[in-house]
A = this chain, B = another copy of it.
Amino acid sequence: MTKFNELEKGGIFGKGIANPYGKFFEGDTFLKALATSPDEKVSVGTVTFEPGARNNWHIHHDGYQILLVTDGEGWYQEEGKAAQSLKQGDVIVTKDGIKHWHGAKADSWFEHIAITTGTPEWLEPVSDEEYSKL
C-alpha cells in the first residue's frame, strides 16, 4: 500500500499532463504548468510523482530552482551529500551548477511546486541500486 494515493487524482493545483520531460525521469510523473513570469524567465508548475518516480541527476545552468513541497513524501539529493527526506511544507533552493535529483519515496506519492529559471542539463538516471539504499 502506498501513501498519499489521493495525489493520483491531483493535489491543490491539479495533476496536469504526462510530464513532457518524462524521458529524463524514472516512473510516471505529471506536470501542471501554473504560470510564466511576464519577462518569460521564470516558470512555475507542479510536478506529481508516482511512488518510486524520480528525475535523473541534473543541473540548472544560469539559473536556479525553488521547490515547495505541497504533499506526499520524497527525496532531494545533491551530489556528494546525503539524500534529504521531504514532506509537506518543506522548501529546497537549488543553486546554479549544483548536480542533484528529486523524486518520490518508494512507498509514497509526492508533489511539489517548482519555480525554475535557467537551462537544465539532464544527466544519468539515479540507479535502482542507489535509490533502493534510501
A70 interfacial contact with B, CB 8 Å: yes
Q: Of A22-30, A32-40, A74-82, A101-109, which stretch is located at the interface? A: A32-40
- When all copies of this chain in the complex are counted, the total is 2
Total chain A interface residues with beta-carbon distance under 8 A: 25
- Name the CB-closest residue of B to A96: B38
- Chain B residues whose C-beta falls within 8 Å of the C-beta of A113 in the assembled complex: 68, 113
The complex places the Cα of A113 from the Cα of B113 at a distance, in Å, of 11
Residue from B37, B71, B91, B117 in contact with A66 in the complex, judged by beta carbons closer than 8 Å = B37
Whether A91 pairs with B38 at a CB distance below 8 angstroms is no
- Name the CB-closest residue of B to A33: B91
A115 interfacial contact with B, CB 8 Å: yes
Please report whether the interface of chain A is mostly helix, strand, loop or mixed according to DSSP.
Answer: strand
Whether A68 pairs with B89 at a CB distance below 8 angstroms is no
The complex places the Cα of A40 from the Cα of B91 at a distance, in Å, of 16
The complex places the Cα of A14 from the Cα of B89 at a distance, in Å, of 7
Whether A66 pairs with B12 at a CB distance below 8 angstroms is no
Tell me how far the C-beta of A59 lies from the nearest C-beta in chain B, rounded to whole angstroms.
14
Closest 10 CB pairs of A and B: A38-B95, A38-B64, A35-B66, A34-B91, A13-B89, A35-B91, A35-B93, A12-B89, A12-B88, A37-B64
